[in-house]
Amino acid sequence: MSVELRRLEPRDLDTVEEIERASYPTPWSRAMFVAELRKPSSLALGAYTEEGLVGYAFVSRYVDAWHVMNVAVAADHRRRGIATTLLERLFEVTASDPRSGYTLEVRVSNLHAIRLYECLGFEARGIRRGYYTDNREDALIMWREPASSEEAS
């Protein structure tokens, strides 16, 4: 399966919303996606196949880190490396910012996502108690150090 990565655009939001609603118990609203697309400190990538958009990832630049805000892949395209490909590309695109690492929150029950993030170099750094509003589930805080200058060359 061939996957093309490119920046998400407003015209992609209908499909983004479909994937989002099928992926999360408390999906982002369209306004949240629009705000991220407009934010100069954010980057949003989509994964496209011959079928169209099948996955996406959003990151936002904060003072000391890139925050992985949202990653989702359509159910019938999961476990094919699409999320890994999206995140690895985001790491490449942001690699010129050597002073920052990457952080994210993930449901403590989402073992597949936790394993994915661990394979990408993230480590658990703490817990946000009651973080998710739908069921008060805790979030695992994960961190990935920036690539060293030796790795980047």
Active-site annotation holds for 17: no
Beta strand extents in the chain (DSSP E only):
4-7, 42-49, 52-61, 65-73, 101-107, 123-128, 139-144
Catalytic residue, from 20, 105, 132, 137: name it.
Answer: 105
**52-61 and 139-144 beta bridge pairing:** unpaired
Catalytic residue, from 117, 118, 132, 150: name it.
Answer: 117
Active-site annotation holds for 18: no
Catalytic residues: 105, 117
